A and B are shown apart, each in its own frame.
Chain A
Amino acid sequence: TQLLEQSPQFLSIQEGENLTVYCNSSSVFSSLQWYRQEPGEGPVLLVTVVTGGEVKKLKRLTFQFGDARKDSSLHITAAQPGDTGLYLCAGESTGTASKLTFGTGTRLQVTL
């Protein structure tokens, strides 16, 4: 069974602070996706990283795929209250018949 462990599980910070969320596995993934879920809604795709070592930026969010394609990180610069939500990573493996393995989730709260 493939597992994706995210850390930290919970994070409460003030507006303007920086933070990093980690997504780790012992398995290799073909690609890795990050989603954000706000209360009462479904997860929304933020980014997909495909190549080992790849870095993608989405405004104040920076995503990195590990060289060995087993782990990923999400860094948020100058967090804002609108960043509040549940962050989920999800890995795609070859031969898994159209499904993703979702991480355990990181719940972020950004306060004024």
Chain B
Amino acid sequence: ETGVTQTPRHLVMGMTNKKSLKCEQHLGHNAMYWYKQSAKKPLELMFVYNFKEQTENNSVPSRFSPECPNSSHLFLHLHTLQPEDSALYLCASSQAASGNYEQYFGPGTRLTVT
């Protein structure tokens, strides 16, 4: 595997379900990000991790819970979501902690909350 991978690519879940999104980067980067992309809205930054430490939580509701066990893996745990949470969730990585802000994105997980 190369670049940034995300699983699953598509997810349909009910409002009472619990699910997790997974992201893995194979680039040796030191920063990882979760973004939310909704139709007709700009890309919204959710969380930032530098060297597996969370450095940014952009006022994200607690029903979204990130986890970064190491610099290569990032998870987004989901529980009791709302229909308005349906969106494309993108993971990205960069060498920002070393001063290089160019971001490499995964293909995203298309989430539908029913």
Contacts and interface: CB of A to CB of B under 8 A. Distances in A.
Contacts of B31: 98
Interface stretch (B14-22, B68-76, B78-86, B89-97): B89-97
A100 B48 CA distance: 11
A102 B42 contact: yes
Interface residues on A, range: 20 to 34
B66 interface: no
Contacts of B105: 35, 42-44
Interface string A80-92: 0000000010101
Contacts, number: 57
A41 B96 contact: no
Nearest to B97: A98
A97 B107 contact: no
The 8 A-B pairs with the shortest beta carbon distances in the complex, nearest first, are A42-B105, A98-B96, A102-B43, A92-B101, A104-B42, A98-B31, A43-B105, A42-B90
